[in-house]
Chains A and B, each alone.
Chain A
Amino acid sequence: MSDPTVPDPTVPEPTGSVGFDELYQLNVNGETRDVRDAWVGESLLYVLRERLGLMGSKGACEQGECGSCSVMVDGELVCSCLVMAASAIDQPIVTIEGVAPIGSPSDVQQAFVDAGAVQCGFCTPGLIMATHALLERSAEPSEFEIREELSGNVCRCTGYGRIIEAVQRVSVSRRADAESGIAS
C-alpha cells in the first residue's frame, strides 16, 4: 500500500464559467446561420448539433476514426468532430440534412434502405455523405475501390456487405439513367 494520493498540482484552479461570448455565422446547407453565445473551443459537430439543431451528424469516437460525423466543408468530406466550428466560417457546409428534403430521399439514401444497408443506423448519415462524395469522384467504382474509399466509416452492425451492395446499385442505376438519357 502506498501513501494517500496527493492532488495533482498541475490541475489549474477553476476560472469561473466557460466563455460563452462568441458570435459568428456559418453557411450550412445553403443558409447563413448565426451561432450565438458560443465557446470558441466547440467543434463543428457540436455546433451543428447543439447550437443549430442539426442532429443528423453523429459523434461516436471524437477522433476522426469512425466517420459518423462526416459532412462536406468547402467541397471536401471531413470529420466534423475534428474541425473547429469557428474555422469553418465562410466555407459552404453540407450536412446530411442538406442531402435531400425529408421524405424525398436521394438515390443513395433510398438504395441504403432497399439493400438492407441500415441496421441501427448510427453510422448511416456519415456513410451517406461519404457515398455521395465517392460517387461524385468515381461514378463506377470497383468493389475494392468502394471498400478503400469508404474505409474511414466504421459500421458495427452490418459487416458492410449490404452497404457495398447499396453503393453498387446506385452506380448501376445512375449509369442506366445516363444511358437512357443519351438514347432519348
Chain B
Amino acid sequence: MSILSGVRRHDGRLGDSITRPDGTAKVQGSFMFSGDLEAEHCLWGATLRSPHPHARIISIDLSAAWKISGVEAIITAEDVPGQLTYGLISQDQPVFASEVVRYVGEPIAAVAADHPETCRRALQAIVVVYEVLEPLTDPERALDGSHPPIHPDGNLIRHQRIVSGDITATGDVVVEGTYVIGMQDQAFLGLEAALAMPGPGGAGVDLYVATQWLHEDQKQIAACLGLAPEQVRLTLGGVGGAFGAREDISLQVHTCLLALRTGRPVRIQYSREESFLGHVHRHPATIWMRHHATADGHIVKIEARMVFDGGAYASTSSAVLINGVTHTQGPYKCANALVDGYAVRTNNLPCGAMRGFGVVQACFAHEGQMDRLAAACGLDPVEIRLRNAMETGDKLITGQPILNVAPVARCIRETAALPLPDEPVGGHDHDPMRLPGGAGRTADRRHIRRGIGFAVSIKNLMYSEGFDDYATARCRLADGVATLKFATAEVGQGFITIAGQIARSVLGVDDVLLDPIDTDVGSAGSTSASRQTWMSGGAVNAVCMKVRGLMFDSLAAIYGVDASTLSIEGRDIVDATGVFRITVVDATAGLSFDETVEFRHAPTEDLDENGQGNCHTAFAFVAHRAVVDVDPELGLVKVIQVATAQDVGRALNPLSVIGQIEGGIAQGLGLAVMEEIIMSNGRVRNPSFTDYLLPTFLDMPDVVISLIEEPDPIAPLGAKGVGEPPTVSSTPAIVAAIRDAIGKHIDRVPVRPIDIIG
C-alpha cells in the first residue's frame, strides 16, 4: 500500500504559481485514492439501508444471509460496543438504526464478505420487517406541531432570532420576496471509501479514509467502538473531492467494526446511489425577506424568516442556520433588522456542510432582494449595491464589527468593468450546438434573449460561536531539508502545495518533505469553512518561524552575530550589515531543529437571545456578473460568461486561487440551473449521475477573473480563504441574468424550464 508520503517537492516561494506536488502521480494514475487501497486477505464490506423514510423496525432476520458462502460478518446495532450514536455537534445519529428508521438510506446492518457480489447477495438476504410510519417531509409541519416528533428531543434543531437596532423603523420603499433553495449534492467524484485494519495483537484499529477532519473522525469513531482515541489511528486516504460531504461520519465506524469483528482488513466503497444517500447535503431552505429602504436606495431595515430543512439528523444544521441568519444583510450596511431562523428535523435526507454552509441560501435571498430594491428605486443593480456596500468598521446586524479588509465596492466596480463576452446572442457561427439546450433540445435562435445579472456576497471564514478552532503543525529542519507534519486533509484544494511554499519562504530551503497526513500529530481542524490557508497555513508559518528563530540563535552562538539582525534572503541567511552571509544548507549541516506549534485565531463569542455577539472570525467578499442566453419558449438557459472580482487578501499561489474560483463558480452554476436532489415523500428520485445533472464542459462558460489583493493584516499570511466565496454569489448572479433576460421574477433554484415558461 502506498500513501502520499515524503516526496521531493519543487521550487517555489509564496506568490509563485507552482504546480501541485502530487500532480504527476495524479495524471499518471499512480496516486492512491482511499478506494484504491488494498491489503492482504482483505474483505469487502457493504451496508444495508432503509427503504423507508420513516418506519418502525419490527424484526431483523440474518439467518439466510449467514448461509451464504463467503460471508464473514454481519453486524447490527447490537454489535456496537460503545456509544450507539454519533454526530458533529450533537450525537443523535445511530451507527445502525435499531428501533426506528428516519430516512431512506439509514444504515441498519453491515456485512463483510469475500466479494462485492457476495456482499450484495447477503444484503438482499437480510429480512427486515418494518411497520411503515407516515414520514414528515414538510419542514413547516415540523414547526407547527401538526406532526408528532420524529426524534425524542423534538423536530426543532435550533431557533435563532436576531434583533438589531430599531425594529419599528420603516423605509420609503418596501420590497419582499420568498426564496426557495433546492437540495444540492456535493457530488465529489471519489466515492466514499475506507480501509480498516485491525491493529496487531488486537490493539485497536488503523483506518485509511478519505475525510475532511481526521481528528474529529477519530473522536467519534473511538466513542462508538468503545476504544480510547489513541487506539483508533487514522491516515488520510487519497481524497477525490469533498466540498463538505466528508465532514460527517459515513462509513468510518462500520468499516472499523467489521475489521475488528473479523480480525481482517475490510474495505468499503459506496456506489454512487449509496453516496447520494450516505452523506449529508446542502440544506434546502425557504427564506422570506422584506427590505425597507430610503427612496434613494439605502437599506433601512431587513426582516427575514428562514427555515432550513435539516433532514433526519442534526449534523451541523445548527451552525448552518447561524451562518444563514448572520449573513442576512449580505455585504451591505444595515442597522435595523429582525430575523428568525429555524433548523428543523424531517424524514428527508440529513443535511449538513456544503461549500458556502448556510450563506449560499441567505445570499440567494438577499441578492434577489437587492434586485427588487433596485427596480423599486429605479436604480441600476450595480449602483444600488455600491450605495450600500459595507466597509471595514461597519457592523453586522449581530453587532459584530468587520475588522477585515472589506473591499466590497472595489469588488463590485472591478467586476462591472471586466469585459463582456464577444459571443453574439445565440452563439458564434450560427452553430445550433451553441444555443441553449445544445444538441439535445435545440432552441430557436430567433427567440433567444440575453440577460446580465449581478450579485455580491460576504462569507465568514473559519469556525464561529466560541469553538476552540486551532491547527497544529510540526517542522523539522536538518541539513537544509525541512520536513512538515500536519493532519490537514488535502482534498484537492492544494494545501500541500502552499505548505511547501510557506516553508521555503520562511526558512530559505529548497527541499521540503511532507510526512504522511495522519493522527500522529495534533488536530488541524477541518478542511472546511475556507479555513486551512489561514489556520493550517498559519500553523506552518508559525512553526517555521519558530524553527528559524532557533536556527538564528544557533548561528549567533557559533559565529558571534546578533540573532536579531539575521534574516533570510533567498537561500541565504544574512545579517543587517550584509557582511555575514551563510547558506541555510551550510548553517544547518549536522544540526536538527524540531518544533510543533498550535495556531489559534482570536476567540469568538456565542450569540445571545437577540442574536448579538461577535460570533464570527473573519470575512471575505466577492462580486459576480453573469451573462446568459435564454430560450423563453423552451425554458432553456445557456450561461455565456461569469465575471468575478474576488477579495483574496493575498494570492499565495495564483494558479491554485484561479482553480478554486473556477471550480466554485461551476458549483454555483450547478445550483443555479441544474443540480437538485429531488425528494418525493421522503424518497430520492434521482440518485445517479444520469438523473442528477452536473455541469459538464459544455455547461461551463468562460470565467473572467480579477483578483483583489489587499493583504489582510489579521490573516497570518495576509491571505483570505478563497474556496467558498465563488460558490456563494455566482448562483444569484446567474438567476439575476435569467430574470433580466425574460423580465420575470424567479425566486427558486435550481431554475427549471417550468420556472421560465410557467
| Residues of A near any B CB (own CB < 8 A) | 1-7, 11, 13-14, 16-18, 20, 39, 41, 46, 49, 54-63, 65-66, 68, 95-97, 99-100, 102-103, 105, 109-110, 112-114, 116, 118-125, 128, 144, 146-148, 150-164
Contacts and interface: CB of A to CB of B under 8 A. Distances in A.
8 contacts: A1-B133, A60-B689, A97-B30, A120-B188, A151-B698, A159-B661, A159-B662, A161-B702
Nearest to B65: A14
B519 interface: no
A148 B700 CA distance: 11
Contacts, number: 224
A60 B666 contact: no
Interface residues of B, number: 84
A66 B696 CA distance: 9
B582 to A, nearest CB: 34
B149 interface: no
Nearest to B241: A120
Given A58-B33, A97-B29, A154 B191 contact: no
Contact of A62 (B65, B272, B659, B697): B272
Contacts of A105: 24, 27-28
Interface in B276-316: none
Contacts of B134: 1
Contacts of A123: 189
B99 to A, nearest CB: 14
Contacts of B239: 120
B399 interface: no
Interface in B19-77: 19-20, 22-24, 26-33, 35-36, 52, 55, 58, 64-65, 67-70
Contacts of B664: 159
B658 interface: yes
A157 B659 contact: yes
B433 A58 contact: no
Interface of B: 17, 19-20, 22-24, 26-33, 35-36, 52, 55, 58, 64-65, 67-70, 114-118, 121-122, 124-125, 127, 129-134, 187-191, 238-243, 271-272, 428, 431, 433-434, 491-494, 655-656, 658-659, 661-667, 688-690, 694-698, 700, 702-703
> Which of B29, B124, B428 gathers most chain A CB within 10 Å?
B29
A7 B127 contact: yes
Given A7-B129, A109-B27, A20 B115 contact: yes
Contact of B688 (A39, A63, A95, A163): A63
A60 B272 contact: yes
A17 B238 CA distance: 32
Nearest to A55: B36
Contacts of A112: 23, 27
Contacts of A157: 241, 492, 659, 663
A66 B127 CA distance: 34
B666 A159 contact: yes
A96 B65 contact: no
A161 B689 contact: no
> Which of A4, A20, A60, A123 gathers most chain B CB within 10 Å?
A60
B240 A159 contact: no
A144 B431 contact: yes
A1 B68 CA distance: 34
Given A39-B117, A60-B189, A121 B26 contact: yes
A120 B189 contact: yes
Contacts of A144: 428, 431, 433-434
Contacts of A99: 28
B68 A16 contact: yes
A59 B698 CA distance: 22
B659 A158 contact: yes
A159 B662 CA distance: 5
Contact of A63 (B23, B31, B118, B689): B689
A122 B189 contact: yes
Given A14-B64, A14-B65, A159-B666, 16 more contacts: A3-B131, A46-B116, A60-B689, A61-B689, A114-B19, A119-B492, A120-B188, A120-B240, A121-B27, A122-B33, A144-B433, A147-B697, A153-B697, A154-B189, A157-B241, A159-B703
Top 3 A-B pairs, shortest CB-CB distance:
A56-B29, A120-B492, A121-B26
A128 B358 CA distance: 36
Contacts of A119: 241, 492-494, 659, 663
Contacts of A20: 115
Contact of A113 (B20, B121, B667, B695): B20
A17 B191 CA distance: 27
B241 A156 contact: yes
Contacts of A103: 24
A116 B491 contact: no
